[in-house]
Structure formats: structure tokens, C-alpha cells
Amino acid sequence: MEGFDEEYEREMAEARRRAREQGRGDVLDYLSLKAANDSLRARAVELLLGAFTTLAGELNREGAGVALARTDAHRFRIGHSTMVGTRLTLSRGLRSLTVEAGWPRSPRDGIVRGGGLASARVGHFGAPKAGEELLLLPAGDEPRWFVLEGTGARTELLEQHLHRHVVMLLE
């Protein structure tokens, strides 16, 4: 995602420069808030993907043979919005588990619904009902991931959720 991130940072720097030149303190405040939120989002996405990577590594040390592939600057849809982030695929034989996590980067991408900072999706190839949609919600200094239930309820994402997905990959 380096090329994407570098271009994004150049555009943000240009927006800050124009806002300073025009005396737009309100825009500078917004851009500062956006930068802080983007930092929280990026850290939370990396923690989520890192947790799945760690589980795969533990299984591989036991001989599971799980292959990992990562795609940066990945675009995926959640509802009517486009998220930009990272896709991590864990595969074993014909089975695969895909984790996509990101957030809209431009106004045309849409929004993260439900007051969230970022969205994620965990999916199983061939078993769409086994997947889960996740929402990153503000919670003090460290936002937390929540599972969006079909009823609209939100349940905090716990390690047991991750284990369940990885165990399903091995079955």
C-alpha cells in the first residue's frame, strides 16, 4: 500500500497547505482530526490482521500448512460504500479464509455505517453464512472491533471469534 499511502499523504499535505494559505483554521482542525483517526484505523487494522497471522503461525508450527497472502491497497464493498485497506487470505488446500479491513478514503467512497471508524469482513470460501462483518468503534484512546450480528446487535470481537474462523479453515 506504500504507493497508495504516499499519494494519499501528498494529497493531505497539499490540502493542509491550501487551508493554511486561505486561513481556514476549521479545515486544518478537520484534517488534524482525520489524520488522528486514520492513525487509529491503521493501527486497529494491523492488530486485527496480525491476530489472524499469529494464529496461522501457531498452527503452522504444529504442521497445519496454512499459506498466507496479503494484498495492500485492496478495495472492497460494505453495503453501498467502498473500503480501502488490506486483504489477508489464509488458505489450506481448497479452503480459504479471507479477512478484509479498511475504511473509505475519499468522499466518493462513501461512509462507514453505524458511527464506525473502519469496517472489516471475515469470509470463508464456499461458506458465505460462516462469515462475519466487523465494525471498528471508538472506545477512548483505543477503538475496538465489534461483530455485527444479523439482528443489528454488536458483540465485541474476542479471540474466540478468531479461533472459530481459523478452526473452520482446518476442518
Residues 6+ apart with CB under 8 A from 36: none
The arrangement of strands across the sheet holding 81-92 comes to 67-78, 81-92, 95-103, 118-124, 132-137, 144-148, 154-156
- Give the amino acid at 160: Q
Tell me the pLDDT tens digit for each residue of 85-114: 999 999 998 899 999 999 998 889 999 988
pLDDT tens digits along 33-75: 888 888 899 999 999 999 999 999 999 999 999 999 999 989 9
Confidence of residue 150 (pLDDT cuts 50, 70, 90): confident
Instruction: Give the whole-angstrom CA distance, residue 70 versus residue 49.
Output: 10
Helical ranges in the chain per DSSP H = 2-21, 25-61, 159-170
Mean pLDDT of 131-157: 90
User: Structure pTM?
Assistant: 0.86
